[in-house]
Amino acid sequence: ILGPFVASAEPATEAALIRVDFGTGMLHWSSQAAEPAIARVRAALQALSAKAHDPGLDGRTIARGHLVLALAYRAQNDRAAAAAAIDQMLTFARAWAARDGSAEARYWVAIAHEEGAQQARALAGDPDLALRSQTLARDLLRALSAEVPTNAAYRRELFYSSFVAGALAGGGPNDGLWSPTTGDLAAAEVAYREAMALADQVAARDPNDVRARAEAAATRVAVGWVVLQRDSAAALTLLEPALAELAALPEDLRVANSAHDEWFARCATAVARARAGQREQALVELTGAKAFVARYFPDGVETLQCQVFEAEVQAALGQTDAAAALLDQLVSALMVKAMTGLGLQQS
């Protein structure tokens, strides 16, 4: 439709054409189509940089374009291109913030730092660098949430940022279990507790919002897991009510999302019970956890992750030989999985 206007020098038309490229790239990325997303967003950014005048595009559209570019390159494991994209996003967002000092501009600076953290974690395996970037984002978002307390997006992003900071500092549910961390459990607990407080506030506003209840329970599981590393009895006071809340959620929500938190809660509770000397309850909880994982994740990595917890239960109950044998089996299974993923065969 806009083809006949491509050569137009009329500012409104130029802006519309650039906006179409941005929008089309974002649509491609919404379908996880990295290549066409990159092509269209790059075309938009190149057209924008070639203009001698400001075509009047809003900062949010441009910032989102930079973010899509960074996400798409990260999906392709292109570390250099992803890093360059996020540097460009930071440069743009900081210049925007310097011009008008707006809350939205500072919000996009925070988003850029968050993506920088994800790149450092996923592409570089550097939890220290990732946590530094995440902390910058979290500090900005905390200030924005205090400055504009009615903005739900800022509070939502602060919740997410705090949860990720907890995972980077001390590990935790889902991908946090086997991801590199800084090993700072105290910092992890502080971050997870901030996320829990924010989630509890949202859940308290509407007791019928089951998704908010699920998130509040999930953050309680994360706090409980960190506390478990120092105090099993205290961990149970967090894990037990969280598990009860997760188990009471509607089945469709469990299938779509919360099952990832529930299996972790079940396994962590089994470990906590074993360490607290509750042998029979620990074994019953472990059996239920294994059945849950087999039901919801029959072919998932959760089956292997659950074995780590099973070994911890065995060790806590004095069955150290059985725990060591189980971990040896787990290492062998992971080697096979890794080599298969790389297209290699074991000799």
DSSP states along 299-326: TSTHHHHHHHHHHHHHHHTT-HHHHHHH
The pLDDT assigned to 55 comes to: 66
Look at residue 20 in the predicted model and tell me its pLDDT: 92
Q: What pLDDT shows up at residue 13?
A: 78
pLDDT, residue 345, reads 58
* Cβ-based neighbours of 263, under 8 Å, separated by 6 or more: 289, 292, 293, 296, 297, 302, 306
pLDDT for residue 5: 45
Planar angle of CA 17, 18, 20, nearest 5 degrees? 65
pTM assigned to the model: 0.89
Q: Please count the CA atoms within 13 angstroms of the CA of 266 that sit on its side-chain side.
A: 26
- According to DSSP, residue 300 is labeled S
pLDDT reported for residue 176: 61
**Exposed/middle/buried for 340, CB within 10 Å: 0-12, 13-18, 19+?**
exposed
What pLDDT, on the 0 to 100 scale, is given for residue 257?
A: 84
Are 25 and 65 in contact, with CB atoms under 8 Å apart?
A: yes
List the chain pLDDT tens, one digit each, 347 residues.
445 444 455 667 778 889 999 999 999 999 999 999 999 999 999 998 887 566 678 899 999 999 999 999 999 999 999 999 999 999 999 999 999 999 999 999 999 999 999 999 888 889 999 999 999 999 999 999 999 999 999 999 999 999 999 999 999 886 667 788 999 999 999 999 999 999 999 999 998 999 999 999 999 999 999 999 999 999 999 999 999 999 999 998 888 888 999 999 999 999 999 999 999 999 999 999 999 999 999 988 899 899 999 999 999 999 999 999 999 999 998 888 777 766 665 55
**pLDDT at residue 64, rounded to an integer:** 96
Query: How large is the angle between the packed helices 103-122 and 152-170, nearest 10 degrees?
Result: 20
